[in-house]
Amino acid sequence: MTLELSYQSKLLSPYQSKLQGWPGLIEAYRSYLPVTEETPVVSLKEGNTPLIPVPAIADKIGRQVEVFVKYDGLNPTGSFKDRGMTLAISKAKEAGAKAVICASTGNTSAAAAAYALRGGMRAFVLIPDGYVALGKLAQALLYGAEVLAIKGNFDQALQIVKDVAKKYPVTLVNSVNPYRLEGQKTGAFELVDTLGDAPDWLCIPVGNAGNITAYWMGFCQYHKSKKCDRLPKMMGFQAAGAAPIVKGYPIAHPETVASAIRIGNPASWKKAIEAQKASQGSFTAVTDEEILEAYRLLASNEGIFCEPASAASVAGLLKIKDQVPRGAKIVCVLTGHGLKDPDVAIKHSHNDHFSQGIEPTTEAVAKIMGL
């Protein structure tokens, strides 16, 4: 029996080793996260997303800068939200939760639904009716979440789910849940591990302001552990129609094509300001036109398809390029995949090379090709 098991083990081991690979965020950074041996890890092998050089963006800035994008749209559900959700759902399961709830402009609902399903829990998501990109809504529905669309905006939805979580046995997994930020800070760890140090600037879209807060937490923790020699300036960018931090007051009716950051009263507002001040960074508003220009630029010049909100980081960098120090190393966080919002891509592609109604012949196709 022992020999037979040993033989089977030898047969399986190459296959198993291929399957193992990247262990997921919790296992990769366990010593930096609030988990124990008793924490049931709920994972889709999130994290380990690529850091991609973008020379066309760097050329527009000049000054011998290096620019990279951290493409978190390649997480399992297509956004950075998976980083926080693996930990939030794992800790909820550890506490015995049977159901979770969140308010969402789309990405949080997709991540919450997927990880709750993986953890054997029910997921309830509140969304602003008519203001969630179809790609994100489709995900939440297919993952089996119970989607509740309210006649209101994200900020109203967030207040409702906070109230529900206080009164009923359901765990809130929005970024006000501290485990969400603990998971999201791993993005900073990955940047340092890849670059060998922190970048000079971190450019990041700001909606509910949890991610900029989390990245700063991560950089500070790694710096304290002597994993990096410096801390970056945290450069946050909000859509002009949803820029409460830039303006200094909540926006009752935020509007922007970048639906993921269409938030008028960020939950992590205070912490984001603290991160910005401590890092000597800044907050800047970018218009929808600037966001869409960066969105198209990333796709047409770099081959990177991100969702519109993600492009706010690049749009912001280009807007304040005169402030960039010579020789700086800059990372722009791309928070979500472009397929999250295909309608915007089609509507704003500005591509006049889409020919329809062509006869199904070689000659007709060759003619259109100019051959």
Please tell me whether 153 is known to bind a ligand. Answer: no
Q: Is pLDDT of 12 > 60?
A: no
pLDDT in tens, 220-256: 999 999 999 999 999 999 999 999 999 999 999 999 9
pTM here is 0.90
Per-residue tokens: 53: 């050089």
Q: Is pLDDT of 15 > 50?
A: no
Please tell me whether 177 is known to bind a ligand. Answer: no
Q: Is pLDDT of 1 > 90?
A: no
- 213 within some domain: yes
Residues 225, 342: Cα–Cα separation, whole Å: 42
Whole-number pLDDT of residue 204:
98
- 302 within some domain: yes
Please tell me whether 211 is known to bind a ligand. Answer: yes
Q: Is 118 helix (H, G, I), strand (E, B) or coil?
A: helix
- 362 within some domain: no
Q: Report the number of distinct structural domains present in the chain.
A: 2
221 and 165, same structural domain? no
Please tell me whether 208 is known to bind a ligand. Answer: yes
- 16 within some domain: no
- Give the domain extent around 158: 82-172
Residues 58, 297: Cα–Cα separation, whole Å: 12
Q: Is 297 helix (H, G, I), strand (E, B) or coil?
A: helix
Please tell me whether 207 is known to bind a ligand. Answer: yes
Cα Rg, the chain, nearest whole Å: 22
pLDDT in tens, 70-109: 999 999 999 999 999 999 999 999 999 999 999 988 899 9
Q: Which residue has the higher pLDDT, 33 or 367?
A: 33
Whole-number pLDDT of residue 330:
98
33-68 burial, b at 16+ Cβ within 10 Å, e below that, comes to bebeeebebbbbbbbbbeebebeebbebbeeebbbb
Q: Is pLDDT of 41 > 50?
A: yes
Of the residues 172, 201, 235, the one at which a domain ends: 172
140 and 91, same structural domain? yes
Q: Is 160 helix (H, G, I), strand (E, B) or coil?
A: helix
Whole-number pLDDT of residue 348:
83
pLDDT in tens, 160-206: 999 999 999 999 999 899 999 999 999 999 999 999 999 999 999 99
Please tell me whether 301 is known to bind a ligand. Answer: no
71 and 89, same structural domain? no
- Name, in order, each residue with C-beta under 8 angstroms of 319's C-beta and a sequence gap of 6 or more: 284, 286, 290
